[in-house]
Amino acid sequence: MEDGIVKLINQPLLPHKFEIYDCKDYKITAEAIRDMVVRGAGAIGATAGYAMAQAFLAGEDVGKAAEYIKSMRPTAQNLFYAVDKVLKAKDKEEAVKVAQEIADEDADFCERIGEHGENLIQDGFKILTHCNAGWLAFVDWGSALSPVYKAKRNGKNVFVFADETRPRCQGARLTAFELAQEGVPHAVIADNAAGYYMKKKEVDFVIVGSDRIAANGDVANKIGTYEKAVLAKENGIPFYVAAPTTTIDFECESGDKIPIEERDEGEVLCMFGKDNCGKVSKIRIAPEESKAKNPAFDVTPAKYIAGIITEKGIFKPEEIKDIKNS
């Protein structure tokens, strides 16, 4: 945040255009979260914290501002964590300070996730990931991709299969963009191709991020994560989740209690991209008469998860509830 303006990378334009999106008040910042100008657990949390700070700076009713910001993405635990933390501030100076602390904490936690997770990655591993949980999804480093970046920088040869992640294609657009910038060998694959490569023994390790983790170790993540976990289990491939402890909802007993966001059907019925003439546009791919269903997340039961990588270390799903007191 600079002079009360929250500055975000306009992620829907990537990888075809890099642009900074200025949010001049808390409502614009909140709506940037809703419209996925910014997305990813940690980035949403940090942005929500800054939105609350903007409300304090503007002398708004911060209680109403908090409810408005929370309504933007109902599944994202980091959003609720950040809003509630800044809401406790006594004045605008403290609100800005707490918002910055949340952002700094996120960067620190993610680097530590990378350090812990990198130990699981062997030289020569072929890794599959779903959606985007890297630099763009957090303040720094990312969660699921942080161990990959640490492994690459420590001299390990790694290869990443990046699921395209329909309907918004965060894997094809954002994860692939990041991996290319980092010089990590990779291939974008159709979501339905993951099982094919697993069965061929071409995947050694699966790692994903999370938008909310229940107290019993169930994990909500981008739609399609659950089926990747089932396929990994069937093929004897370890399936790991990487997330800071701020993503854990200790008050949520199980994944059945996690609210699942239903997004606009247009995301499924249309595609966004660059044509052969270099023009970026949205096109409809389904019949005009067709409707669509668009759940943004699904829940992976704890039984499919080998471990959850946090800034405090790697835990079995059943150990998650004990982190609160550690």
Answer yes or no: 204 catalytic.
no
**Which among 211, 256, 275, 322 is annotated as catalytic?**
211
- List Cα–Cα distances, 316 to 105, 160, 214, 242, 305, in angstroms: 23, 24, 13, 12, 8
Rounded-to-10 torsion of CA 241, 221, 180, 233: 50
Q: Using CB atoms within 10 A of its CB, is residue 148 exposed (0-12), middle (13-18) or buried (19+)?
A: buried
* Positions marked active-site: 211
